[in-house]
Amino acid sequence: MNKEIMNNKTQLQGGCLCGKNRYRTTTMPFAAEYCHCRMCQISAGAVTVCWMDFKQEQVKWETHKPKEFESSEYVRRGFCDTCGSSLTFRDTRHPDYFTLSIATLDNPNLVQPTYHIYTESQVDWLTIDDKCKRYPKGQTK
């Protein structure tokens, strides 16, 4: 990871495949992780999803806000209703926090996940050879 780039003053930009939903952040994320849960896998159409976590007010929408799907009682998953890109995650029990997909950044190299969650459902054939901490379910502190 480029340490010069990774400082708290860095702003990030990204958006969906068609450009209808564009966001900008006012800071770097306070956390970033791989999620291997089945909900993320199916929702994004990918065997793992890399997420980055912000305070809600640190994320600004420059164009449209993504449409949201209620994937469970508390979880809302944001997507573009034109191109289908999976963009966001939020938990209504934690309204101060907002999560964006690292893959939707204009430059996904700027944010590197540092831990894995829900590795109990990581696919058998996927080998990720890193030293990051692994949590079988959600993160436990």
Distances (CA, A) of 108 to 12, 14, 34, 104, 122: 10, 9, 13, 7, 22
Does residue 47 touch Zn ion according to CB under 5 A?
no
Give the sign of the dihedral formed by CA 83, CA 11, CA 58, CA 46. positive
Does residue 12 touch Zn ion according to CB under 5 A?
no
Does residue 110 touch Zn ion according to CB under 5 A?
no
Nearer CB in complex with Zn ion: 58/78: 78
Minimum distance, C-beta of residue 125 to Zn ion, in the bound complex (Å): 19
Structure tokens at 107: 């430059």
Applying CB under 5 A, among 82, 112, 114, 121 the residue interacting with Zn ion is: 82
115-117 and 59-61 beta bridge pairing: unpaired
Applying CB under 5 A, among 12, 28, 32, 35 the residue interacting with Zn ion is: 35
Does residue 32 touch Zn ion according to CB under 5 A?
no
Q: Which stretch binds Zn ion (CB under 5 A): 5-13, 23-31, 61-69, 79-87?
A: 79-87
Q: How many degrees, rounded to 5, is the angle at CA 60 between CA 54 and CA 61?
A: 125
Residues of the shown chain interacting with Zn ion in the complex, contacts defined by CB under 5 A: 16, 18, 20, 35, 37, 40, 80, 82-83
